[in-house]
Amino acid sequence: MPPFAVWPPLTLAVLVVPVVGGLIGTVLPAFGYLPALGLTTLSLEGWRGLALVPGLAWSVLLSVWVALASTLISFCLALAFVAATTTAPRTAWLRRLVSPVLAAPHVGVAIGLAFLLAPSGLFVRLLSPWLTGFTQPPAWLVPGDPWGLSLLFGLVVKETPFLVLMLLAAQAGLDAERRVLVARSLGYGPLRAWHQTVLPAVYPSLRWPIMAVLAYGFSPVDMALVLGPSVPPILAVRVVELMGDPSLARWPIGAAAALLLLALAVLTMALWRLAERPVSAVALARARRGPGATSPLPWRGLALVLPTAVTLTALLGLAAMALWSIAGRWRFPDPWPDTLRLDGWQQLQGPLGHSLFVTAGLAAIVAGTALVLTILCLEAETYRRRPLPRRVLFWLFLPLVVPQAAFLFGVQVVLVGVRLDGTLGGVALVQLAFVLPYTFLALAGSWRGLDPRWRLTAASLGQGPWRVLWRVKLPLLAAPIATAFAIGFAVSVALYLPTLFAGGGRVRTLALEAVALAGADRRSAGVVVTLLALLPLLGFLFAAAVRLRVERR
């Protein structure tokens, strides 16, 4: 057996058991089988109950609309931004703006946006009363508009940076600048040059990230609780409400709703995949027609400004919440608090401090474990005769492409069964399934790209596989390893729904506190959001320090 061969199956088990167990634990109750409640005969009661839920059709429409539109808009913005920064001179630095937004947890970004957009929020304050004449906050239904536009905006703000980063990673090895240069010398405008020569090459590696964005769009419960429409809410919120209902009789209905959500997500993904062919055919037809007149409109300027503005909005929201955390009196419509005071931060001595400790500790343990498993899997791959088969990738990404709300209830059922529900260990296990795909994605490229002669040289000097790993590969790859850890850490800090379900509300992380405080008290919310935004940055600072050390030798 080649070295490290036991680790890939073991790692897959860690990933697959929660998802598959969770799906089974959702499917059975949806059809009336839940022994814990004494339900042992199959029935369609759950589905009948679901059909009677008022406003269900609107929830369904809302879910599909928000998921599909947010994915499409984020994708277009990301394409525009990467194309523009690849082709326009001296704009590559703009890409650095997206990293802090990517690192900030969803719920933090959502709370920041909510404050910007609210009738009593910063945007209205900045325009009042001199432009709007408001001396009292207007009675607008924003955020929380019935069409989910605020939620849509929040998702776009959060997912665009993710897709930008995935695109940049995919085009890194392609010499994109030169491809574009060749096309431009043939008479194509910069954006078209990029779309015709780089996009076709990077799109295949973008499929999984897009599916992940779609899946998340179906289940952004934390963002929806802050930004989303509430009567009726998106389907995923309904699932969580039904599952949280104290009368357990509603569980089969909730399980049916979860299955419905899963079906919608799978259908939408299939739709996206079906649309790929005609869209690429159109693009190919344009390529065959050859270069035409270049557009006189400043498209590239727009492609730079729009995504940048979206990103800056998110950063402004986070900054405004940081200001709230130290604000004393801050009356409407003042754009600035009258007084500053620090007593909001004294909450750190109480339960909030405990949450901070739990969040950071959990994130460190989960990211560390995910990193170790990732490294052992990748190292196993270097000793295999062939790369890991594609179906392994499918199982690896499964937790990301199944909407969380669709299977987490089942995970809870399973955890109750093995008596891990509500424990730190249970939360860590479930988080691991969501963090591992990201650490793997982050590290795989550098690991596979390392010159195999390093390993062969070390082995020819008499070093066995473990010592080659420890003494040669880990030091050589220290920088990408540290980055992968930081990414895993950030993902763990941001996880809301998995922590809620696995922890049964007993493991209180900052993301949970943030959702609880979002509607209540802006000062406390400001403290939590600031912590949520800073904690992942610490991870990335650490990664930057490691990279500096590596570069200096």
Partner 1 sequence: MTLVLDQTTVRLDGKRLFQPLALTVAPGEIVALMGPSGRGKSSLLMGLCGGLRPPLALEGDVRLGGRSLRGVPLERRRLGVLFQDPLLFPHLTVAENLAFALPRQHRDRRVRIDAALERAELQGFGERRPSTLSGGQAARVALLRALLAEPQALLLDEPFAKLDAPLRRRVRAFVATMIADARLPCLLVTHDRADAQDLGARVVELGGEGEERTRTGR
What distance separates the 2 farthest-apart alpha carbons in the chain?
79
- Residue listed under structure tokens 């159109």: 282
Q: Report the nearest approach of partner 1 to the CB of residue 470 (Å).
A: 12
Q: Report the nearest approach of partner 1 to the CB of residue 444 (Å).
A: 17
- Buried b / exposed e over 160-197, threshold 16 CB at 10 Å, is bbbbbbbbbbbbeeeebeebbeebbeeebbbbbbbbbb
Q: Report the nearest approach of partner 1 to the CB of residue 480 (Å).
A: 14
**53 or 550: whose CB is closer to partner 1?**
550
**54 or 462: whose CB is closer to partner 1?**
462
**381 or 421: whose CB is closer to partner 1?**
381
**406 or 546: whose CB is closer to partner 1?**
546
- The amino acid at residue 469 is L
Provide the token pair at 536: 């992942």
Q: Report the nearest approach of partner 1 to the CB of residue 449 (Å).
A: 15
- The amino acid at residue 371 is L
Provide the token pair at 45: 């009661």
Q: Report the nearest approach of partner 1 to the CB of residue 462 (Å).
A: 5
**446 or 463: whose CB is closer to partner 1?**
463
Distance CA(258)–CA(378), nearest Å, equals 34
Q: Report the nearest approach of partner 1 to the CB of residue 443 (Å).
A: 18
Q: Report the nearest approach of partner 1 to the CB of residue 551 (Å).
A: 10
Judged on CB neighbours under 10 Å (0-12, 13-18, 19+), 139 is exposed
Distance CA(21)–CA(28), nearest Å, equals 11
- Residues 6 or more apart whose CB falls under 8 angstroms from that of 504 comprise 412, 421, 422
Q: Rounded to the nearest 5 degrees, what angle is found at the Cα of 108, between the Cα atoms of 103 and 114?
A: 135
**479 or 516: whose CB is closer to partner 1?**
479
Provide the token pair at 457: 């040289």
Q: Report the nearest approach of partner 1 to the CB of residue 78 (Å).
A: 34
- List interacting residues with partner 1 (CB under 8 A): 385-386, 451-454, 456-465, 468, 471-472, 475-476, 478, 550, 553
Provide the token pair at 68: 């599909």
**327 or 468: whose CB is closer to partner 1?**
468
Judged on CB neighbours under 10 Å (0-12, 13-18, 19+), 395 is middle
**2 or 505: whose CB is closer to partner 1?**
2
Cα dihedral sign, 330-312-157-371? negative
- The amino acid at residue 302 is L
Gyration radius of the chain's alpha carbons: 24
Q: Report the nearest approach of partner 1 to the CB of residue 464 (Å).
A: 5
- Residue listed under structure tokens 């009292």: 136
Q: Report the nearest approach of partner 1 to the CB of residue 7 (Å).
A: 18
Distance CA(329)–CA(127), nearest Å, equals 20
**407 or 447: whose CB is closer to partner 1?**
447
Q: Report the nearest approach of partner 1 to the CB of residue 545 (Å).
A: 16
**351 or 475: whose CB is closer to partner 1?**
475
**329 or 471: whose CB is closer to partner 1?**
471
Total residue count of the chain as it appears in this document: 553
**391 or 553: whose CB is closer to partner 1?**
553
Q: Report the nearest approach of partner 1 to the CB of residue 267 (Å).
A: 38
Q: Report the nearest approach of partner 1 to the CB of residue 471 (Å).
A: 7
Residue of 21, 473, 491 lying closest to 212 (CA atoms): 491
Return the DSSP state at 412: H
- Residues 6 or more apart whose CB falls under 8 angstroms from that of 243 comprise 250, 251, 254, 258, 409, 412, 501
Q: How many CA atoms lie within 13 A of 184 on its CB side?
A: 15
**128 or 483: whose CB is closer to partner 1?**
483
Distance CA(202)–CA(175), nearest Å, equals 12
**353 or 449: whose CB is closer to partner 1?**
449
Q: Report the nearest approach of partner 1 to the CB of residue 370 (Å).
A: 24
450 sits in which H/E element: none
Distance CA(172)–CA(202), nearest Å, equals 10
* Backbone phi, psi, residue 34, to 5°: -150, 85
